[in-house]
Amino acid sequence: MIDARRTLPLFIIFFVINYSVCFAQLASLNLVYSGTGGLSDVIKFAHEDGFFKKQRLEVTLIYVNSGVLASQVVASGTAQAAAITATDALRVMAAGVSMKIIMVNIDQFQHLFVARPGIKSPAEMKGKRIAVSRYGSFSDIQTRFLVRQWGLDPDKDVQILQIGNSSARAAALISGGVDGAIVTPFFVPSAKKAGLVVIFDLSTINATFANQIVILNDNLIKERRAAAQALVRGLLDAIRAWRAGSEATKAYLRKQYKLPDADIESLLAESRRFIRSEPTPDIESIRAVWESTPDLKARGPVDMRQLIDASFVAEALKELK
């Protein structure tokens, strides 16, 4: 006969030990990000809906208002991972900081150029004020590239102003502080309601271009590979739910943007066009960024293979299939 008085304490000890072991196995890391919409939204969704914790990983999100700052936070060791634009990451890596690109989540232009009421075509932007996040940023590079596509000189025919991220640029447009700006697709519904006009869709430019990426500090890769792999698995799992238009995804978007269901469906449809289901980092899209960024191109050719680590996505895709 089992003596309950002896068995119960043993059960409690067993439970406490196992709970302690499980808790100890919950790894942690800091992930810094900037901007709004696109990959930033997917990462916040993954965090809020527990996709990382399902992989036994405690992720602390850190928001900063520029990709340059995000890269510097990773370089300092304060965060071990970042979700930023490839332009900002490559600049820091070119300066000698040991990091690797492990994901290219969006590999094309995705922004739209929005203008204030009364402006109906790119030709009407001559002499107007255009907002970017900051000089030399990805939004600045895209804007100058686009203005040249329109046959205008970005240094002479328009006035480019440093305003901030997409939300700050949209606010400046709505208030009349600027005449045009590049914004993410997630701001288009509210922009249209404010009377602003989309005059150019950058996704119509036929080019492969590493846009939004995930980078890891080399120390994390070398010393805590399991945590890095858990981050990738969690994010890929969240991307699948996001692209499938799950109810959890829609609930997140409703809370984040306070939009009706019709606009939510439109946002999801747009994001499926851009957010890759298999975000393996590829050399060609990253090289396109290097060649399109004047200060990077001036450094001369570089071996792109030294800048990426495709093994994390490859391993995660095998595990998730």
Output the domain CATH number for residue 138: 3.40.190.10
Query: pLDDT higher for 188 or 311?
Result: 311
One domain, residues 213 and 315:
yes
pLDDT over 60 (residue 69): yes
Domain boundary pick from 173, 204, 235? 204
pLDDT of res. 5: 53
In the structure, what pLDDT confidence band is assigned to residue 72 with cuts at 50, 70 and 90?
confident
Q: How far apart are CA 115 and CA 163, in angstroms?
A: 15
Same domain, 183 and 275: no
Confidence of residue 56 (pLDDT cuts 50, 70, 90): very high
Higher pLDDT residue, 13 or 38?
38
Asked if residue 305 has pLDDT above 90, the reply is yes
Q: Are residues 183 and 155 in the same domain?
A: yes
Residue ending a domain, among 139, 169, 204, is: 204
Instruction: Answer yes or no: is pLDDT of 284 > 60.
Output: yes
Give the pLDDT of residue 21.
Answer: 43
pTM above 0.85, yes or no: no
Q: Is the same domain home to 100 and 229?
A: yes
In a shared domain, residues 178 and 280: no
Confidence of residue 20 (pLDDT cuts 50, 70, 90): very low
Same domain, 191 and 149: yes
What per-residue confidence (pLDDT) applies to 19?
A: 42
Residues 286 and 242 grouped into a single domain = yes
211 touches 282 (CB < 8 A) = no
245 shares a domain with 149: no
Q: Which residues are 216's β-sheet partners?
A: 81, 100
More confident residue, 261 or 214: 214
How many structural domains comprise the chain? 2
Residue 270 pLDDT class (50, 70, 90 cuts): confident
Range of the domain at 161: 112-204
| Euclidean distance between CA atoms 74 and 33, whole angstroms | 10
**Residue 152 CA: distances (Å) to CA of 76, 134, 146, 148, 252:** 40, 20, 9, 5, 40
Identify the band that residue 110 occupies on the pLDDT scale cut at 50, 70 and 90: confident
Same domain, 121 and 141: yes
Could you tell me if residue 1 is inside a domain? no
Over residues 20-49, mean pLDDT:
84
Mean of the per-residue pLDDT values of the chain? 88
Q: What is the mean pLDDT of residues 208-235?
A: 95
Judged against a pLDDT cut of 90, whether residue 37 lies above it is answered with no
pLDDT of residue 6: 53
Q: Are 111 and 36 in contact (CB under 8 A)?
A: no
Residue 248 has pLDDT above 60, yes or no: yes
Q: Do 166 and 217 have their domain in common?
A: no
